[in-house]
Chains A and B, each alone.
Chain A
């Protein structure tokens, strides 16, 4: 379960202070599929990064499975991300020097998984996203949709319980976007992965069980 209690996040940009999130209270149950929507600058990405332990709130608490992340050290946060959270970004962020297979292996490398186990798992995951025949290609030899599918496989490498998606279809055409979204939806339905999806694309709300709308750092709508 993900829980945000009175979360406020302020940024300093030059001399200006920007209030990205303003006193947010939110609970996301296990196996939920939540879409966080809102115009750019509404704070939705900030919310996602706070849940993903990539950033710390200025005030308030973020709890992951009841664990208050504000009390954790950098090392502990890293381990939490590695073991419980998978990220999917709009720009895929694949390592250009590594093949598809190696990119999927990378989170397992950081977890010191054995080589054979790592390879087997990565191949399974690439098969899951339908890229078993392109495992030896470098990212620049793959289409956008394929790259995002590799990124999904990578996000699943350490069997996370939470999948955080930041505009996963933002750089994709409609058809590839649909393929990617279907994979994410299936993971949620069949494997019980909690999904938090951040997007400003209204059409993606149909995949979610719940939609949260943000504006100026506040929740303006939650069904």
Chain B
């Protein structure tokens, strides 16, 4: 009956109640749709990293005077149990010529099977000299063309797609099989890419490296791709938080409007409150009545806002990301519930003071109120 009474009290001043509900709707909608979009955006960005999350990159400890990684060290890395794939890479910068053009770029020396592991081809095969996407465009290379490095000719066996990587940059580079690389340059390895059986093994792996390779002096540094992912996630968290704060402001405004209408309502209904106290309503009952009224506003507004927010998130995703597949992931959907929660909470908090004020009215003063 209290709920019934609360609903009828709200219906008594329909326009006012609807306006209050609209405030909540906007706030909840903002929170849910912004939340869904920023989670989707994060998912889109992080999807590019899902293959490299378990990757670590080992570089010489430059700060300790090491410029390269020798073969023995590579063997030691291979013997660490958590490493499933170990790709040692040599590199050097040199002038590359093709027809009348020449340019100074990076030459990588990588075993053929490892090239397969690391890169995707746009054209040709994993064979002979592989050219990066950008350099191929620069030289207008085709499979079968021949480039010149240090007066030696190399046949282009494959052309890579352009991609952004964190370990090495193959776009403006050519990749030679190690044996060809060694014919040109006398160098040790400059970087080793290691894939671990899982991301959870990264700490164990680092410990093993310190024990076996860096025991006497620091020879190599271990860099986790995971750190980048974590940095991106952190950045997104901050952006989301910032957007949430903006959405929160609209909820705050809604809260103030509920506070306002509830205060007006307590004043208008002062004598009613007095009457209810006179015929046997506890202070608590009056408090509950007003809180229920706010709760009804909050629940109705939040549910509508949550639904609209979901649709809004879906629409923004379709518009900007051109896909809706991330709308339904739990991390996105949770924002609908966060919106619901804060919508209802806002209504409840805003009603606390008016409800408390109403419940504190002395029956005699309330009845005599003009």
Q: How many chain B residues touch A (Cβ–Cβ < 8 Å)?
A: 24
Q: Which residues of A contact B275 (CB under 8 A)?
A: 89, 93, 95
Closest B residue, CB atoms, query A45: B368
Q: For A154, what are the chain B residues with a Cβ–Cβ distance below 8 Å?
A: 279
CB of A74 within 8 A of CB of B364, answer no
Which of A38-97 touch B at CB < 8 Å? 49, 52, 54-55, 74-75, 78-79, 81-83, 87, 89, 91, 93, 95-97
CB-CB contacts of B276-302 with A at 8 A, as 1s and 0s? 111111110100000000000000000
As a 0/1 sequence over residues 164 to 179 of chain B, the CB contacts with chain A under 8 angstroms (1 = contact) are 0000000000000000
Please tell me if A184 contacts chain B, counting CB pairs below 8 Å.
Answer: no
**Cα of A58 to Cα of B12 in the assembled complex, Å:** 39
With most chain A CB atoms within 10 A of its CB, the pick from B272, B278, B281, B362 is B278
Cα distance A28–B1 in the bound complex, in angstroms: 36
B262-280 at interface with A (beta carbon < 8 Å):
271-272, 274-280
In the complex, the answer to whether A74 meets B5 with C-beta atoms within 8 Å is no
**The residue from A75, A102, A106 contacting B279, defined by CB atoms under 8 A apart:** A106
Interface-central residue, B5, B8, B9, B279, by most chain A CB under 10 Å = B279
Can you name the residue of chain B whose Cβ is closest to the Cβ of A49? B364
Q: How far is the CA of A81 from the CA of B275 in the complex (A)?
A: 11
Q: In the complex, A55→B367 CA distance in Å?
A: 11
Q: B11 at the A/B interface (Cβ < 8 Å)?
A: yes
Q: Indicate if the CB atoms of B278 and A87 lie closer than 8 Å.
A: yes
Known: A97-B12, A98-B5. Is A111-B280 also a contact (CB below 8 A)?
yes
How many A residues have CB within 8 A of the partner chain?
Answer: 30
**In the bound complex, how far is the Cα of B12 from the Cα of A74, in angstroms?**
30
Is A158 in contact with chain B by the CB < 8 A criterion? yes
Known A78-B282, A97-B9, A97-B11; judge A109-B272 contact (CB<8 A): no
Is there contact, CB below 8 Å, between A89 and B367?
yes
Q: How far is the CA of A154 from the CA of B280 in the complex (A)?
A: 12
Q: When the two chains form the complex, which single residue of A79, A89, A91, A97 contacts B5, counting CB atoms closer than 8 Å?
A: A97
Contacts of B271 in A (CB 8 A): 91, 93
Smallest CB separation, B188 vs chain A (Å)? 86
Distance (whole angstroms) from the CB of A173 to the closest CB of chain B:
23
The answer to whether the Cβ of B2 comes within 8 Å of any Cβ in the partner chain is: yes
With contacts A93-B271, A96-B12, A97-B11 taken as known, whether A75 is within 8 angstroms of B282 at the C-beta atoms is: yes
Q: Knowing that A54-B277, A79-B280, A98-B5 are A-B contacts, what are 12 other residue pairs whose CB atoms are under 8 Å apart, sorted by A's residue number?
A: A81-B280, A89-B275, A93-B274, A95-B272, A97-B9, A97-B12, A107-B280, A109-B2, A110-B276, A110-B279, A111-B280, A154-B279
A-B contact pairs, 15 of them (CB 8 A): A49-B364, A54-B277, A54-B364, A55-B363, A55-B364, A74-B283, A78-B280, A87-B279, A95-B5, A95-B272, A97-B5, A98-B8, A102-B1, A105-B1, A110-B285
Chain A residues within CB distance 8 Å of chain B: 49, 52, 54-55, 74-75, 78-79, 81-83, 87, 89, 91, 93, 95-98, 102, 105-107, 109-111, 154-155, 157-158
